Structure 1
């Protein structure tokens, strides 16, 4: 019985693509999929950074493949799709993790930067999903990486006493939209047996000011921010046959932030 349960989470023989795989969460996702047995592609605009990641993981005995993919450039997306089809023949798991943050000043941001943000994070997400779904196998899994910020509004007290702020409307727009486009993809691709779900992570501890960490931690049920490794289990679950009858679902992985 234990062996059959373990096989449910085994991704051996499956082909996965993680977009935006060079960031903190991206690296964790790539590592988890590869360790679970998937032939794992990681893609982003910065191919040099990915080459370094590939070398680092190789030294740990983890094999990954790297591709250049600019989510703001349809030609780049199609070239990445064709490379996967040529090398692996198909795609079983797509993790939409890439995000651009060109708008950094808040509500008074220049409109051109908002346009850039929407082009990559909205149009780009649609093009990536549409393109990669063309080569996805029946029973495939699309996993969108959203944010708990797509489920709630800004909590100003998180930033009290720091020079940080959370007034980024484009980010909230994209991550909130990801919640419902997940349901759209689940419906659209369901007839092909392709599932789509969304993980909404909470904040990751990454050297933020101590006061912010304290403020934020108090807002969660578990009293802390996410740590390295906290996202891996949910990704493997949604990528694997253990979640075969789950689609159109939004899963907060936020230490209970949105439960309060």
Structure 2
């Protein structure tokens, strides 16, 4: 198979987020492909720092402002991006807001989570996906979570003081799976593919008891690091996956397969 199929050279990719636990690694790996990368999130200062780091390496990376839960902000970003770059070749929906910290979080926090992580994701598909469909090309990759596929594993947290698990994350990441299928069906006839990638846990200096239990539950006996998602995202953005749409791909070291 030709390496050209896996290439993103000269394509334009929008990555929401880009400075956080998942996003920084994705930004670095996408920048290395030769694509033009646009990072978008609320904290433009942090994004600009990432963009400057990658630009210093010779990559084309730009930072833009986005409040994903505000349709006016989504539309303003869409207008700026399309005016400068035209229709996107790829969109990676990675940004997430986590206002709830546990099962007893306030209802207002749950509602805020849905505004950004459910309504906001829909708006990104609606506005950017429509432009892709009009151009007759493109790939959307949604960054989900295995917590949208399975229930909580409370036993991992016993005795760790890591806090409680919030219901909003499970709800909106589960909903992302079927939203992916919806837009895959809507945009498929216009040659726009929509897929979801569901990561497992990332190593972030968690307490040793949690790490040991979690790693024992994976087939690869480890948590993910910031280089483990990029290859799968690049594959789903590239022409190598041109007949794949509406799919959820777990990238979890075998956690959900055990």
Pairwise same-fold verdict (TM > 0.5): yes
State the partner residue of 2:68: 71
CA deviations on 1:58-106 (whole Å, 9 max, x unpaired) are: 23232201110111111111111111111011111010101100111x2
Q: CA deviation at 1:152?
A: 0.6
Superposition pairs of residues 183-222 of structure 1, within 5 angstroms: 183-222=181-220
Number of residues paired by the alignment?
Answer: 256
Q: Extract unaligned runs of 5+ from structure 2.
A: none
The answer to whether structure 1 residue 124 and structure 2 residue 114 are counterparts is no
Q: CA deviation at 1:6?
A: 1.1
Q: Extract unaligned runs of 5+ from structure 1.
A: none
Q: Provide TM-score, normalisation by structure 1.
A: 0.95
CA deviations on 1:16-42 (whole Å, 9 max, x unpaired) are: 100112212112222222211211100
1:49 to 17, 22, 46: 46
State the partner residue of 2:246: 248
The answer to whether structure 1 residue 18 and structure 2 residue 24 are counterparts is no
Q: Provide TM-score, normalisation by structure 2.
A: 0.96
The answer to whether structure 1 residue 36 and structure 2 residue 33 are counterparts is yes
Contact 1:202 1:226 in 2 (8 A): yes
State the partner residue of 1:178: 176
Against the structure 1 CA distance between its residues 75 and 67, is the aligned structure 2 distance closer, same or farther, given a 3 Å change threshold?
Answer: same
Contact 1:154 1:166 in 2 (8 A): no
State the partner residue of 1:58: 55
Stretch of structure 1 that moved more, 4-13 or 68-77: 4-13
Q: Whole-Å Cα distance in 2 between the matches of residues 173 and 75 of structure 1? A: 25
Against the structure 1 CA distance between its residues 7 and 166, is the aligned structure 2 distance closer, same or farther, given a 3 Å change threshold?
Answer: farther
**Structure 1: 4+ residue segments shifted above 6 A:** none
Contact 1:186 1:197 in 2 (8 A): yes
| Cα RMSD after superposing both structures | 1.2
The answer to whether structure 1 residue 135 and structure 2 residue 131 are counterparts is yes
Q: Whole-Å Cα distance in 1 between the matches of residues 209 and 57 of structure 2? A: 35
CA deviations on 1:95-120 (whole Å, 9 max, x unpaired) are: 0101100111x221111111101111
